[in-house]
């Protein structure tokens, strides 16, 4: 019985080998010559292409970015502790890619899809290349729909549209990440998918961001993509491209996405580090000659697509850090020229406690005015003008001993406007709440109130307008115009609240 079974098995094996004769498969193999600083030099891969993935013995991956006659410069995507000269390297035949899909929402991952939040493995169905061409001009539609940040200063004076690229710029510790966080938090009920891309940040800073998103119930529609300062420069360099690919998946589904790059200063430094290690010729501030291109090809991928191409949008909020308020430095000027405007955060305002510390004079949105709700536009036009006049007068008033009544009134009105533009961190407001408060301060209703009472009065006005005029609030938020009688209803409620507070006995 056993002999018969062995005979049958041998017969099956012989027939299998005859039907599939052995064949040789050629594969290029390279030899690692040198490794260090996140860069490997490999000899013997003549057929490799630029940006192709290379696999080393042991499984570590890298990307071929320097193709020279005698060797290939490979940017490593992990720790090189186990790499030694002499080991083999193989081309994979595919370019670097990143996971995409709904399964990434609510997760903290790196550019390659490695899970960093100690949760279950990712349900990866698709992987897309991290370097993808930006949509052509024919595929793009005008930016017409507002992206509400919930921050009064931005939504009223520096509005952002879906598909816009708006730079957030300022010195360190001026609240740049907080502005981006508030914008993400405000999208939690707006059906906008958010991607927070942290490049070269400390682990504690990223943990704080994730904790804030969880606390504010905004993590469910957010993907956090991280390359910490401890990661190799290659991983830090590809992270923004991978995060953009994840966002593009949703844009191409016809949905709206928002991506925050925090921050591109560190991204530029990672690329400078790689370029110097690869012995590329340095240029200004030791950056390589193509430093402009690495950011332009990234940010050009943010757009609003035409309806026949799905109608989705990708809004980009790149963050850049300046040194000593110098926005004319190399990397800031590059990014200002690529983007559609900038939000400048001033350390002077920050130290005065005027938060968010947005300098309206140095900030601009080159698209947003067309995206603003008509009701918002009617409030914001007067507001910007009066605020600019106030800032100019306040500067000159420091040197004047006597001021005429008109000048004093303008300054006092401006101080109330500035007080109303203050806002607590992680406390985004609905568009109708913002408009009610700004309309009241614009109309001069706050001018006779003590500055200390302004925030309490503002909160009371917002609450009462929401309670008494729900249909009017819906009109404001759906982009409909308000006529003079409807605005008067808002002002009547504001006057009523102010009269009640005035009539209350003090302390």
Q: Which residues are catalytic?
A: 366
443 C-beta neighbours (distance < 10 Å), count: 17
Cis peptide before 125 (omega within 30 of 0): no
Residue 348 is classified by DSSP as H
Angle of helix 291-299 relative to helix 264-277, nearest 10 degrees, comes to: 140
Angle between helices 405-421 and 431-442 (to 10 degrees): 170
| Residue 297, CA distances (Å) to 134, 179, 204, 294 in order | 7, 25, 30, 6
- The half-sphere exposure of 470 on its side-chain side, counting CA atoms within 13 A, is 1
Single out the residue of 66, 56, 51 nearest to residue 31, CA to CA. Answer: 56
> Which contiguous run of DSSP H or E holds residue 277?
helix 264-277
DSSP code, position 370: G
Cβ atoms of 162 and 146 closer than 8 Å: yes
**Beta 39-43 vs 108-109: how paired, if at all?**
unpaired
Strands 256-262 and 61-67: unpaired
Helices (H), 312-373: 330-338, 347-351
From the list 334, 296, 292, the residue with the least C-alpha distance to 316 is 296
Angle at CA of residue 272, ends 269 and 278, nearest 5°: 145
Give Cα separations from 111 to 184, 207, 210, 236 (angstroms): 20, 17, 17, 9
Cα–Cα distance for residue pair 154/423, rounded to 1 Å: 11
What span, in angstroms and rounded, lies between the C-alpha atoms of 223 and 243? 9
Q: Which residue has the tokens 């929402």?
A: 105
CA 452, chain centre distance (Å): 35
* Integer Cα distance of 501 and 507 in angstroms: 12
- Nearest partner of 498 among 453, 438, 442, judged by Cα: 453
Of 199, 176, 172, 177, the C-alpha closest to 270 is 199
> Which 3 state secondary structure label does DSSP give 193?
strand
Helix ranges (DSSP H) in 323-366: 330-338, 347-351
Paired tokens of 287: 């950056």
Q: For residues 74 and 389, what is the distance between their CA atoms, to the nearest angstrom?
A: 56
């Amino acid at each position: 019985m056993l002999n018969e079974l062995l005979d049958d098995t041998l017969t099956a094996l012989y027939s299998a080998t005859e039907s599939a004769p052995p064949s040789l498969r050629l594969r290029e193999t390279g030899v690692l010559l040198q490794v260090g600083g996140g860069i490997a030099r490999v000899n013997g891969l003549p057929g490799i292409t630029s940006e192709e993935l290379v696999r080393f013995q042991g499984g570590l991956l890298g990307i071929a970015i320097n193709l020279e006659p005698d060797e290939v410069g490979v940017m490593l995507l992990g720790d090189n502790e186990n790499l030694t000269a002499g080991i083999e390297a193989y081309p994979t035949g595919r370019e670097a890619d990143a996971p995409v899909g709904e399964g990434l929402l609510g997760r903290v991952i790196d550019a390659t899809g490695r899970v960093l939040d100690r949760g279950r493995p990712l349900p990866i169905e698709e992987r897309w290349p991290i370097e993808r061409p930006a949509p052509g001009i024919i595929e793009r539609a005008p930016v017409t729909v507002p992206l509400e940040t919930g921050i009064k200063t931005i939504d009223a004076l520096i509005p952002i549209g879906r598909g816009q690229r708006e730079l957030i710029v300022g010195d360190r510790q001026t609240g740049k990440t907080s502005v981006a966080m508030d914008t993400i938090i405000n999208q939690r009920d707006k059906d906008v998918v958010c991607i927070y891309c942290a490049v070269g940040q400390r682990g504690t800073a990223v943990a704080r961001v994730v904790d804030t998103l969880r606390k504010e119930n905004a993590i469910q529609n957010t993907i956090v993509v991280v390359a910490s300062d401890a990661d190799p420069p290659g991983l830090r360099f590809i992270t923004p491209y991978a995060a953009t690919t994840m966002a593009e998946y949703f844009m191409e589904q016809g949905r709206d996405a928002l991506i925050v790059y925090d921050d591109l200063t560190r991204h530029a430094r990672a690329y400078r580090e790689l370029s110097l290690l690869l012995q590329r010729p340095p240029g200004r501030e030791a950056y390589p000659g193509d430093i402009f291109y690495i950011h332009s090809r990234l940010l050009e991928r943010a757009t609003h697509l035409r309806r026949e191409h799905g109608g989705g949008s990708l809004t980009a909020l790149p963050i850049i850090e300046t040194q000593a308020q110098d926005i004319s430095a190399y990397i800031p000027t590059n990014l200002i020229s690529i983007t559609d405007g900038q939000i400048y955060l001033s350390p002077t305002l920050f130290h005065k406690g005027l938060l968010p510390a947005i300098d309206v004079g140095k900030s601009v949105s080159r698209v947003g005015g067309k995206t603003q709700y008509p009701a918002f536009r009617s409030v914001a036009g007067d507001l910007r003008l009066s605020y600019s006049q106030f800032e100019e007068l306040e500067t000159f008033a420091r040197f004047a001993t006597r001021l005429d009544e008109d000048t004093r009134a303008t300054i006092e009105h401006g101080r109330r406007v500035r007080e109303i533009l203050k806002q607590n961190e992680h406390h985004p407001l609905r568009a109708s709440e913002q408009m009610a408060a700004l309309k009241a301060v614009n109309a001069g209703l706050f001018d006779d109130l003590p500055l200390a009472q302004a925030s309490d009065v503002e909160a009371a006005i917002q609450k009462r307008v929401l309670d008494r005029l729900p249909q009017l609030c819906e009109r404001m938020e759906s982009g409909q115009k308000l006529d003079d009688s409807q605005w008067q209803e808002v002002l009547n409620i504001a006057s009523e609240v102010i009269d009640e507070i005035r009539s209350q006995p003090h302390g």
